[in-house]
Amino acid sequence: MKLKFDYIVVGAGSSGCILAARLTEDATTRVLLVEAGGSDRTLFITMPGGLPFVYQNKRIGWGYQSGPEPHLHGKVIDEKAGKVIGGSSSINAMIFNRGNPMDYDGWAADGLKDWDYAHCLPYFRRMETFEDGPDAFRGGDGPLRISRAKAEHKLYDAFLRGGEQAGFDVTPDHNGHRQEGLHIAQSFIHDGVRWSASRAYLRPALHRPNLTVLPKALVTRVLVENGTAVGIELAGPDGPRRVTCEREVILCAGAVNTPKLLMLSGIGPADDLREVGVDVAVNIPGVGRNLQNHPGVDLQYGTRHEDSLTAELGMLGRARLGAEWLLLRKGLGTTNFFETGAFLRTRDDADFPNMQYEFLPLTRQLRNGRLVPVPGFQFWMDLSRPKSRGYVKLCSKNPADAPLTVFNHYESPTDLKDMIDGVRLVRERLLRQPAWRKFAPVELNPGPEATSDRDIEAFVRRATGTSYHPSGTCRMGIDADAVVDGEGRVNAVPGLRIADASIMPRVITGNLNAPVMMMAEKIADRIRGRLPLAPSDALPYRATR
DSSP structural state of residue 192: T
Determine the Cα–Cα distance for residues 327 and 309; give it in Å rounded to an integer: 22
Q: Tell me how long the chain is.
A: 545
Write the CB contacts of 115 (distance below 8 Å, at least 6 apart in sequence). Answer: 104, 107, 108, 476, 486
Burial state string for 370-393 with b = 16 or more CB within 10 A and e = fewer than 16: eeeebbbbbbbbbbbbbebbbbbb
Determine the Cα–Cα distance for residues 141 and 52; give it in Å rounded to an integer: 31
Determine the Cα–Cα distance for residues 134 and 146; give it in Å rounded to an integer: 11
Please report, to the nearest 10 degrees, the dihedral formed by the alpha carbons of residues 180, 183, 187, 193 taken in order. 180
Active site residues: 469
Helix axes 14-23, 513-527, angle to 10 degrees: 30
CA pseudo-torsion sign 429, 430, 431, 437: positive
> For residues 490 and 95, is the Cβ–Cβ distance under 8 A?
no
Write the CB contacts of 476 (distance below 8 Å, at least 6 apart in sequence). Answer: 107, 112, 115, 482, 483, 484, 485, 486, 488, 503, 504, 505
How would you write 359-413 as a 3-class SS string? EECCEEEEECCEEEEECEEEEEEEECCCCCCEEEECCCCCCCCCCEEECCCCCCH
Determine the Cα–Cα distance for residues 535 and 380; give it in Å rounded to an integer: 35
249 — phi, psi (to 5°)?
-100, 130
Determine the Cα–Cα distance for residues 254 and 471; give it in Å rounded to an integer: 8
> For residues 258 and 405, is the Cβ–Cβ distance under 8 A?
no
**What would you measure as the largest C-alpha separation in the chain, in angstroms?**
71
